[in-house]
Structure 1
Amino acid sequence: MKRLGEHKYSAVDTSWLDELCMKKFWDKCVTFCPMWVAPNLITLVGLIINLCTVLILSAYCYTASESAPSWVYFQAALGLFLYQTLDAIDGKQARRTGSSSPLGELFDHGCDSVSQVFVTLNVCYAMTLGAVPNGVFLISIISVIMFFAAHWSTYCTGQLRFSKFDVTEAQWMVISVLLFTAIFGAPMWSAEIIFGFQLRYIVVSVSLIISIIQIGGYLKTILSGGVGKNGSTVAGTSVLFPLFPLLMIILPFAMIYGKSNSSVYDDHITLFVLCFGAVGSKTTNRLVIAHMSKSELPLWDWIYLAPLALMLNQYYNYPFNEYHLLIGCTVYAYISLLIFCTYAMTRCDRRRGRT
């Protein structure tokens, strides 16, 4: 983290919705923020709003196969919209007040990595994907890969790039799904629309196609070579090296979910996704720090003990209750994530104070 304080934010935004209307809207919104409001406070408030609205929705849709009252979906849509708005104006507030810093960028990415888990749960709850075999886990995997791949490409190029269809468009798709469910009800997603295919299958299929195209774009950027020596990353390491931490996220949880002899992970899919998301969040945050500090990405992290414990429990024929162990691993994962984020923020703030 020695060079973290020297980092300068660099991004290219070609997002269709951003250019069409959202930037103008956000520019207007930020003018309502008092100059004394810290940008990180705006980010934190957005995260808390997103968390609270998802918790309310999860109370009604814990297995992602239940229907909730309309107002619950409305408040989740509103929560995501507010999060999106606050997440967009925090950087504008920082530039407006002259308080832009690596700490602010790191805090923003950290909150985004956690909120990405909540957004994933939102869409799964709204479309009752818990009723679809492997549906929630598949969406969770795609979500984690996309978020990680975006920062992987940044680690290679030194520049965060937003494509025509990116975060803003994806968030508006989720908001639209939530509003649709609020108006027409969750059972509408199981209605057969075209050739006997349920509406949710059609929407998920289209989303997967878009996601694959997006991931393909990231891979093209990565494989084109980085800005470092001989086409390496900003840290001078191989552009392929971040693949290993990504596999450390995906493969263990895929094995755990696929080899379970019980329905515990489907019955507690919210808990499972939260655990999976925490591991993905911390690994991605390590990648963000590696990019910002131009340092090598660590291969091992202690948070991997969470999926490792679940795997070993299966291997040794379940000496521990799967549900209780899942609770313990989820708590451990979030404690590990919290400690890491606190440590990283503190180090970054200290280094900023020295410059």
Structure 2
Amino acid sequence: MAPNLVTLVGFAWPLVNFLLFIIYAPTLTEISSSPLGELFDHGCDAINASVTTLVVTALLRLGPTDPSALFMLTISCIMFFTATLEEYHTHTLALGVINGPTEGILIMIALAFSAAAFSTDIWLMPANEVFGTSFAILDGVLLNQLVVFAELPIALSTVFTNLSACVRKPKHGTVSAATLAANLFPCLYLFALAWAWFFFSPGRILASAPWITLTSIGLLSAYLVGRLITAHLLLMDFPVVHTALALPTLAVANSALAHFGLLPAPPVDELTAAYALLAASVILYTHFAHDVISGFTTHLGINVLSIPYPPKTK
């Protein structure tokens, strides 16, 4: 694609958004939201959190053999999950001083422009050389690694803020540490499996097939967020055990059994298992989205992608 075509395609989306609002909100006062809209928005954002993070890791040329790619995906998805968990308990979506929808997007744009100006080779240069400094703490640290390290304090601050709000400002009753731990367990278990897959895969499958494996983990994380926001909207309990997590458990066990010598080799070829996990994750998320959206549209009597015009008055 020519660069100008890329620019034109990007411009088309805000233009379409503008035209849709002219049609469906001609007086700027029409209702254009519903519980389904909240679910739809969070569901898309949950997937976007994963795919955008993977794009950034590719932009920074982190490489799958380095744990930085999985680290970036882990902190991005956990931050999104805890933000949704805060909304689940407080019924308020509160964005911090530094957050993904604003500062996160601006940082990503800045990284992209930097790569465009200096080529992506800049991320593989020593940080001291790029900044013209000689800080001992940065000796041997590449610029892309410094970007990853900078994510950690932001992530920890965000997660702490989200979890403390669950305890301090719950909408219904008190929230104990045990309850928070139970809420966090599915997400933490998923990423514990991801890290186990990274370390215990005999064929280093996360390095040889990073897009397949990391996309699967991202989709499963988005599924958990979808379940959480659905529980919030329907005032339901968020389950501790999710049968969907049996999928990555089997994939990781397939690799880990051989790593620890319990089997001479993975029972299923690791690449085949990775593709199977990706296919199962896509089917799972698609089925979940269709099931929940159908339920909301039927109950609320609304459409998914169109707004019925109000009856004309004579």
Could you say which TM-score interval applies, normalised by the shorter chain? 0.7 to 0.9
Q: What are the residue-to-residue correspondences of 1:1-355 with 2, within 5 Å?
A: 75=6, 96-130=29-63, 133-167=66-100, 168-194=102-128, 195=135, 196=139, 197-224=141-168, 226-229=170-173, 231-232=174-175, 238-314=179-255, 315=257, 316=263, 317-353=265-301
Corresponding residue SS for 2:127:
strand
TM-score, normalised by the number of residues in structure 2: 0.79
Q: Quote the RMSD (CA, aligned, Å).
A: 3.0
Native 8 Å contact 2:36 2:296 kept in 1: yes
Letter in 2 for 1:332: A
Distance apart, 1:217 and its partner CA? 1.2
Q: Structure 1: 5+ residue runs without aligned partners?
A: 1-55, 57-69
Gapped regions of structure 2 (runs ≥ 5): 129-134, 258-262, 303-314
Q: Name the residue aligned to 1:10.
A: none
Return the offset for 1:228: 1.2
For residues 159-201 of structure 1, give each alpha carbon's deviation from its aligned partner in whole angstroms, at most 9, with x where no partner exists: 1101111121101111211221122111110111324332112
In the alignment, is the contact (CA less than 8 A) between 2:87 and 2:93 conserved in 1? yes
* 2-structure distance, mates of 1:177, 1:81: 23
The residue identity in structure 2 corresponding to 1:328 is: A
Give 1:242 deviation, angstroms: 0.9
Cα 1:75–1:171 change in 2 (3 A) is farther
| Divergent runs of 4+, >4 A | 78-83, 93-96
Deviations 1:293-335 (A, max 9, x none): 1101123334213202212312254011001110011111111
Which secondary structure does the structure 2 equivalent of 1:162 belong to?
coil
Equivalent-residue separation in structure 1 for 2:267 and 2:243 (angstroms)? 22
Per-residue CA deviation, residues 201-252 of structure 1 (Å, 9 max, x unaligned), is 22222222222211121122123352212x149xxx9344311222232111
Q: Decide whether aligned partners of structure 1 residues 223 and 79 sit closer, same or farther in structure 2, where only a CA change above 3 A counts.
A: farther
Select the structure with the greater relative contact order (CA < 8 A; seq sep ≥ 6): 1
Distance in 1 of aligned mates of 2:221 and 2:69: 16
SS at 2:171's partner residue? Answer: coil
C-alpha distance after superposition, 1:79-135 (max 9, x if no partner): 59968x96xx98xx7774323211111111111111111110111011001166201
Percentage of pairs with the same residue: 23
Asked if structure 2 preserves the Cα contact closer than 8 Å seen for 1:226 and 1:239, the reply is no
* 1:174 partner letter: M
> What SS does the corresponding residue of 2:74 show, helix, strand or coil?
helix
Structure 1 distance, partners of 2:10, 2:63, is 22
What SS does the aligned partner of 1:160 have?
coil
Q: Secondary structure at the match of 2:63?
A: helix
Residues 80, 171 of structure 1: 8 Å contact kept = no
Which whole-Å CA distance do the structure 2 matches of 1:171 and 1:345 have between them? 28
Measured in 2, the distance between the counterparts of 1:261 and 1:80 equals: 45
- Aligned residue identity for 1:123: V
Scaled by the length of structure 1, the TM-score of the pair is 0.70
Pick which of 242-251 and 285-294 moved more: 242-251
Instruction: Return closer, same or farther for 1:210/1:232 CA change in 2, 3 Å cut-off.
Output: closer
Q: Is the 8 A contact 2:183 2:239 kept in 1?
A: no
Q: How many residues matched?
A: 276
Bigger radius of gyration: 2
In 1, Cα distance between the equivalents of 2:105 and 2:41?
A: 16
